[in-house]
Amino acid sequence: MLQYFKSQNLDALAYPMQKRAQLHLTEPTRPERSGIFASALGFPAIDVPAGMTQPDADAPLGLPIGLDLMGPPQSDAALAELALAIERAVPRPPAPLR
């Protein structure tokens, strides 16, 4: 993966934290979870809010969507700067219900 970052001249890769937003209580696992990709490689990553799903019967207000940013080793500071820029550019999701 490090060679891919170098060959493509990439600072970071961005991908959805989950392939599917919600997990029903009757489902024992989440095989669609992609948020473990960076940890499996040992690369730094940060998750930022990226919006909301469309409302539906199971989530009348929608659900938050996360965007993972993964960088090559030693790119923690650059990832934090990129995450901050994204958080400033993307509208905030509504506050959770209490």
Q: What pLDDT score does 77 carry?
A: 97
Q: What pLDDT score does 53 carry?
A: 82
**What's 90's DSSP letter?**
S
pLDDT in tens, 76-92: 999 999 999 998 988 77
Q: Mind giving me the DSSP string for 11-40?
A: S-EEEESBSSS---TT----TTB-TTHHHH
Would you say residue 59 lies in a domain?
no
Q: Mind giving me the DSSP string for 35-65?
A: TTHHHHHT--EEEEEEEEPPP-SS-TT--EE
Residue range(s) defining the domain that contains residue 70: 1-19+35-53+64-91
Q: What pLDDT score does 80 carry?
A: 97
Domain count, the chain: 1
Would you say residue 58 lies in a domain?
no
Residues of the chain with pLDDT under 50: none
What's the pTM?
0.77
Q: Identify the helix (H) or strand (E) that includes residue 67.
A: strand 64-70
Would you say residue 48 lies in a domain?
yes
Would you say residue 28 lies in a domain?
no
